[in-house]
Amino acid sequence: MTQVQPLEREEGRDVAKAWAHVRTNLRRSAGQRLFDQWLKPVVLIDGSDSHAVRLGLPSPFLTQWVKNHYAERLLLEFRAVLPGVRSVTLETLQDAEQRVLSAAPAPVPAPRAESLAEPIERPAFDPRFTFDRFVVSATNRVAFNAARTVAQPGVPMFSPLYLHAGTGQGKTHLMHAIGHAFLEANPGATAIYSTGERFMFEFVQALRNKDTLAFKKRLRSVDLLMIDDLQFIGGKDATQEEFFHTVNEFMSAGKRLVIAADRAPQALEGFEPRLVGRLGAGLVADIKPAELDLRRAIVERKLKDMPAVDMPAEVADLLAARITTNVRELEGALNRLVAYASLSNEAITIDFATSVLGEVLRTSQRRITIDEIQRAVSAHFEVKQLDLISARRAVAIARPRQIAMYLAKRLTTRSLPEIGRKFGNRDHSTVIHAVKRIEDLRAKDVEIDGAVRALMRTLEG
């Protein structure tokens, strides 16, 4: 025994040191606000066994949340410091344990058991999502102006604000922007941002743990409550009942409530009529799918944050014209293209972009045919469609023909020989020459560039 005890004490010190290191990493990766909200209450219960670490939290509600979101991460973090760790368990502290652990020295003191009932004052809003980084157009201007109005100090003009749009169109960006602006304008204010799914999960856990009063107090005591993806609580009667009362509480108190979903209130499936009525009682603002000009402006805005990236205008046009599904997919394609170019030390060109994003471009694009392109070009330049496939070489015919070939290469998945055949059985080298010629002209001829942009808009519409 005299040989074992010093070893146990040494192991305990190793686990305690590892825990301090893990906490530091979690604070850095999660951000101070998220760390303070959920991870700060975690304490080391027992460090005597370096193979099985025991961590504790002050309430069943917090314990379950950390288990669901951070159990695997905690194990990986410990193993990075102590490779021998086989398990990390999360337990709810008993009152006696809380008193002992609160009195013991620790990197961060354990919080009071009732801290869960306290409001979350500073949620971790994404620093990328601010109003000045949101690109505005006719498709989202009402929603943008409404969001800015909600974030202003003073009595809110309307509550709730209900934003609805398809996936990846900017709802979440606006909600985070509201949070940033509201807390900046009101330093002492409190806010919560959550999702419908998380609201449901936390409410169910509170029911199971008989902790609903703390749940209600935590939500209803804040100045700004934002719930994203509300559609996920459709058909969940108990959750909707609780949410209905939360909405009533905020409306009665004149406090700010912002809700987002993928459809209008009246189109929500599995929702009680009285809740639908409450959701539509404030301001309902939709965000329509981004049009070509907005998608192009979004690419330009993102490129401003990448000053070292040299992306030709025709590549930005390609992304904006071909990725029409949603803004999030467009941003993802841009980030992927830039990353591949950096990792492979390649210049970003049309061919490189097509190679890297081939599948994305094919999946996202609307099926535009060469016949459609020929009709659009002939109408724009007031020439006959037959002239585009004829042997005539006059500039008034040759230039529109080259533009049509250029658009066929950019907007369809047809091969060069296929495009050549559609233009009077011309050789694929003729198509290559036409594409190169229009690329060069777009860089120096404003009229040609404007004509190509206008035709892209027409074809996409």
Domain assignment of residue 440, yes or no: yes
Same domain (yes/no): 279, 143: yes
Residue 154, pLDDT score: 86
Residue 362, pLDDT score: 67
The answer to which of 38-52, 140-154, 241-255 has the lowest mean pLDDT is: 38-52
| Cβ(143)–Cβ(288) below 8 Å | no
For residues 69 and 73, give the distance between their C-alpha atoms in angstroms, rounded to a whole number: 8
What does the pLDDT average to over 382-399?
A: 90
Same domain (yes/no): 271, 146: yes
Residue 97, pLDDT score: 42
Same domain (yes/no): 268, 301: no
CATH code: domain of residue 86: 3.30.300.180
CATH code: domain of residue 332: 1.10.8.60
| Cβ(23)–Cβ(55) below 8 Å | no
Residue spans of beta strands (DSSP E) within 58-139: 87-92
pLDDT at 116 over 50: no
For residues 420 and 416, give the distance between their C-alpha atoms in angstroms, rounded to a whole number: 6
- Residue 265 tokens read as 């209130």
Q: How many percent of the chain have pLDDT more than 70? A: 88
Residue 435, pLDDT score: 92
Residue 461, pLDDT score: 58
**Residue 381 is part of which domain span?**
370-460
Range with top average pLDDT, 79-88, 209-218, 225-234: 225-234
Query: Tokens 């620790």 label which residue?
Result: 106
For residues 320 and 294, give the distance between their C-alpha atoms in angstroms, rounded to a whole number: 8
Same domain (yes/no): 99, 37: yes
Phi-psi region of 153 (alpha: psi -120 to 50; beta: other; left: phi over 0): beta
Residue 47, pLDDT score: 67
Range with top average pLDDT, 16-20, 188-192, 283-287: 283-287
| Cβ(149)–Cβ(102) below 8 Å | no
| Cβ(301)–Cβ(129) below 8 Å | no
For residues 341 and 335, give the distance between their C-alpha atoms in angstroms, rounded to a whole number: 10
Task: Give the burial string for 99-135 (b: 16+ CB within 10 Å, else e).
Answer: eebbeeeeeeebbebeebbeebbbbbbeeebbbeebb
pLDDT at 389 over 80: yes
For residue 88, what are the β-bridge partners? 53
Model confidence band, residue 2 (pLDDT cutoffs 50, 70, 90): very low
For residues 459 and 461, give the distance between their C-alpha atoms in angstroms, rounded to a whole number: 5
pLDDT at 371 over 60: yes
Same domain (yes/no): 39, 172: no
Residue 15, pLDDT score: 83
Residue spans of beta strands (DSSP E) within 408-452: none
- Which residues touch 37 (CB under 8 Å, ≥6 apart)? 120, 123, 124
Same domain (yes/no): 241, 145: yes
For residues 344 and 45, give the distance between their C-alpha atoms in angstroms, rounded to a whole number: 48
What does the pLDDT average to over 141-149?
A: 96
Same domain (yes/no): 304, 433: no
Tell if the pTM clears 0.85, that is, is over it.
no
Out of 313, 341, 364, pick the residue that ends a domain: 364
Same domain (yes/no): 273, 145: yes
Mean pLDDT over the full length of the chain: 84
Same domain (yes/no): 275, 143: yes
Residue 100, pLDDT score: 36
- Residue 156 tokens read as 């809110």
Domain assignment of residue 63, yes or no: yes
Model confidence band, residue 326 (pLDDT cutoffs 50, 70, 90): confident
Model confidence band, residue 27 (pLDDT cutoffs 50, 70, 90): confident
For residues 435 and 412, give the distance between their C-alpha atoms in angstroms, rounded to a whole number: 13
Model confidence band, residue 434 (pLDDT cutoffs 50, 70, 90): very high
Other beta carbons within 10 angstroms of residue 48's beta carbon come to 11
Closest Cα partner for 283 from 104, 107, 384, 149?
A: 149
Model confidence band, residue 256 (pLDDT cutoffs 50, 70, 90): very high
Task: Name the residue with higher pLDDT: 109 or 282.
Answer: 282
Task: Name the residue with higher pLDDT: 317 or 47.
Answer: 317
CATH code: domain of residue 400: 1.10.1750.10
Closest Cα partner for 450 from 383, 458, 413, 398?
A: 458
The structural domain count of the chain equals: 4
What does the pLDDT average to over 345-364?
A: 83
Model confidence band, residue 94 (pLDDT cutoffs 50, 70, 90): low
pLDDT at 18 over 50: yes
Residue 30, pLDDT score: 72
Out of 286, 321, 349, pick the residue that ends a domain: 286
Domain assignment of residue 122, yes or no: no
Same domain (yes/no): 105, 144: no
Out of 364, 396, 423, pick the residue that ends a domain: 364
Residue 98, pLDDT score: 43
CATH code: domain of residue 280: 3.40.50.300
Residue 8, pLDDT score: 38
Domain assignment of residue 68, yes or no: yes
What does the pLDDT average to over 212-240?
A: 91
Read off the pLDDT of residues 60-72 as tens digits, 9 standing for 90 and up.
778 888 887 888 8
Helical H segments across 164-266, by residue range: 171-185, 196-208, 212-220, 237-253
Read off the pLDDT of residues 159-217 as tens digits, 9 standing for 90 and up.
899 999 988 899 999 999 999 999 999 888 899 999 998 899 889 988 988 888 888 88
73 by Cβ neighbours in 10 Å (0-12 / 13-18 / 19+) ranks as: middle
Q: How many percent of the chain have pLDDT more than 90? A: 39
pLDDT at 145 over 60: yes
Same domain (yes/no): 229, 139: yes
Same domain (yes/no): 270, 148: yes
**Cα–chain center distance at 141:** 19
pLDDT at 156 over 60: yes
- Residue 144 tokens read as 């943008």
Domain assignment of residue 401, yes or no: yes
Task: Name the residue with higher pLDDT: 355 or 100.
Answer: 355
Domain assignment of residue 150, yes or no: yes
